[in-house]
């Protein structure tokens, strides 16, 4: 027996094993694809309990951030000899513009309402739309009901403010309305 025959035999054996291994992997992949095609993709919008947990988390986050802002405003007002009777009086106080702001408070507020800030147009409109979708389980047929609730809330906020809301609020309103349109599939041509 010569060395070449042993080498050729070993090479053939390895090649055969490699081909069988590749063929088995391809067959398994085909089987997996067929299984996926048979079952399809099923969208699971989650249970009502899952949505309730998401909603509770969103509410808690918003409440925490609102309390932080309220605390900042209260601190500013106390330094100026003002008191807050209720939330409406706080908003009316701010709307009046008759106050001074420390450099630190101003920087904090500017960061909060910046384009990428928590209270900026993008993040605020996204939270509002996410909240609406969580409440409805993502059901686009209920988007108009959520839109009406948002419009009602915006009117109440305007009333609490005591005059037209600042431009950031108007831009947020527009972004939310655009988000509702996208959710229900409306286009500008519609």
Per-residue pLDDT of the chain (190 residues; tens, 9 = 90+): 444 444 444 444 444 444 454 455 555 555 554 444 444 433 345 677 777 888 888 888 888 888 887 777 777 666 666 555 555 566 677 777 777 778 888 898 899 999 889 999 999 999 999 999 999 999 999 999 999 999 999 999 999 888 899 999 999 999 999 999 999 987 655 5
pLDDT at 179: 96
Give me the helix-helix angle, 143-161 and 167-184, nearest 10°.
170
Query: Tokens 């928590």 belong to which residue?
Result: 118
Residue 163 phi/psi, 5-degree rounding, is -165, -175
Domain boundaries, the chain: 1-42, 48-184
- Token duo for residue 5: 């025959």
pLDDT at 58: 84
Measuring CA to CA, how many Å separate 6 from each of 3, 9, 68, 121?
Answer: 5, 5, 80, 75
- Residue 105 to residue 90: CA distance in whole angstroms: 16
Contact of 129 with 150, CB cutoff 8 Å = no
**CB under 8 Å to 146, separation ≥6 — which residues?**
132, 135, 136, 180
Please enumerate, as own/partner, the contacts of 91-95 that have beta carbons within 8 Å and a separation of 24 or more.
Answer: 91/157, 91/160, 91/161, 91/162, 92/160, 92/161, 92/162, 95/161, 95/162, 95/163
pLDDT at 170: 96
- Residue 71 to residue 78: CA distance in whole angstroms: 10
Sign (positive or negative) of CA dihedral 55, 60, 66, 69: negative
Q: Is this prediction's pTM over 0.75?
A: no
**CB under 8 Å to 69, separation ≥6 — which residues?**
112, 119
């Amino acid at each position: 027996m010569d060395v070449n025959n042993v080498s050729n035999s070993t090479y053939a054996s390895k090649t055969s094993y490699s081909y069988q291994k590749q063929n088995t992997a391809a067959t398994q992949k085909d089987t997996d694809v067929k299984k996926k095609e048979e079952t399809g993709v099923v969208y699971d919008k989650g249970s009502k309990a899952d949505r309730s947990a998401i909603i509770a988390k969103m509410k808690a986050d918003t409440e925490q951030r609102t309390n932080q802002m309220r605390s900042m405003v209260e601190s500013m007002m106390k330094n100026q000899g003002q008191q807050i009777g209720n939330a409406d009086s706080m908003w009316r106080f701010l709307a009046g513009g008759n106050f001074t702001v420390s450099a630190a408070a101003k920087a904090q507020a500017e960061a909060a309402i910046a384009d990428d800030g928590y209270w900026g147009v993008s993040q605020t409109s996204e939270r509002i739309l996410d909240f609406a979708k969580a409440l409805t389980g993502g059901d686009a047929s209920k988007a108009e009901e959520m839109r009406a609730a948002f419009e009602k809330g915006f009117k109440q906020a305007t009333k609490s403010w005591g005059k037209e809301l600042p431009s950031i609020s108007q831009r947020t309103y527009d972004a939310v309305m655009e988000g509702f349109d996208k959710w229900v599939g409306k286009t500008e041509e519609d």
